[in-house]
Amino acid sequence: MSDLKWSSDGQEMFDKIMAIVPEAMRDAVKPMLFGFIEKRAAGKPVTADIVSAMVQNDLPEPQRTGIMQALGMKKPAEQAAAEPAAPPPPPFTPQWQGKSETMFEQMLQEVPEALRGVFRGKLMEILRQKSKGGAVAETYVTEIVREIVPEPFKSNILKKFSEIGEVDISVIDSIIARHGTTQDNLTYILHEAQEAIGYLPPEALRAISNKTGIYLSTVYNVATFYKSFRLEPKGEHHIKLCNGTACHLKDRDGVLPEIEQLVGSAPAKKVTLEKTLCLGCCDCAPAVIIDGEVSQGTEAKKKVKQLLT
């Protein structure tokens, strides 16, 4: 748009608008704004009045109101007088469902800080309309992102939505910063993430994929291939069963399979069962470690029963 001729006040106002626009969006937004301005200028120098008219008449909502407020702009007096004052809508107190509130706040984090107050009100009003004043489902927030958020923010927000879960995975950022994003370091990242979180929930695997650029299928394959990785949280109690030769031969009463069956019928949050090749307790065969203590045979079965009652 080299044909545009700018007055000093017009250039100054345009520069202020671009300063409000997030840096990642400027290259995409600038040609659109130039197009609006070129039509309004019609070959004349671009003044602050022309830029102001472009903002008020050509920009979509909620961007229009956000930029006007950030620049301290007001509607022309004649326009304000022509519009009857509408009573403000009653306060909307959302009934958040699931992770909808977390998603809403995550969406707002992508909005420049100077515009968040305006966007919060506008987006809240859209939520009111979508929910008809009732419960706000997660799908409503996702719909807003898909319908009105431009790229690349739309993709960024939707990726972050996929990382929202029941556990705090913010530690993954610092882990990846230490190890880098190459696939060679994936196992190190997974080990540290599991140590920090306690296990590897789906949102952690998605976050690792999003932040490293490694395919999610690759991350999942590595996490499920190695037995040292857990995709479920540990239970209240941890039981290790020896699957070594000595314990197998000495388990004439089938105590170990019985314990495995008992644990298998218990809630996952109650007990975590781990089978290992050797516990190094062959003199106690068949050996079982229950919450860090070694037990033998029928005594171990009795303790497990007590844990499950």
pLDDT band at 1; cut points 50, 70, 90? very low
pLDDT tens per residue, range 24-43: 677 877 888 888 888 888 88
Domain ranges for the chain, please list them. Answer: 8-81, 95-162, 171-225, 237-308
Tell me what the mean pLDDT of segment 9-22 comes to. 86
**Integer CA distances (angstroms), 183 to 10, 193, 211, 212, 222, in order:** 50, 15, 12, 8, 10
Contact indicator for 10, 51 with CB cutoff of 8 Å: yes
Arch. (CATH architecture) of 237-308: 3-Layer(aba) Sandwich (3.40)
Higher pLDDT, 192 or 305: 192
User: What is the spatial distance between Cα 14 and Cα 6, in angstroms, rounded to a whole number?
Assistant: 10
pLDDT tens per residue, range 112-130: 777 777 788 888 989 999 9
Percentage of the chain beyond pLDDT 90 is 21
248 Cα distance to chain centroid: 46
User: What is the spatial distance between Cα 262 and Cα 289, in angstroms, rounded to a whole number?
Assistant: 15
pLDDT > 80? residue 290: yes
φ/ψ (deg, to 5) at 72: 75, 25
pLDDT > 50? residue 78: no
Q: Which residue has the tokens 């000595």?
A: 246
Contact indicator for 290, 272 with CB cutoff of 8 Å: no
Task: Please state whether the predicted TM-score (pTM) of the whole model is above 0.85.
Answer: no
**Integer CA distances (angstroms), 177 to 151, 172, 180, 209, in order:** 25, 8, 6, 14
Q: Which residues contact 43 (CB under 8 A, 6 or more apart)?
A: none
The one-letter code for the residue type at 69 is Q
Q: Give me Rg for the CA atoms of the chain.
A: 30
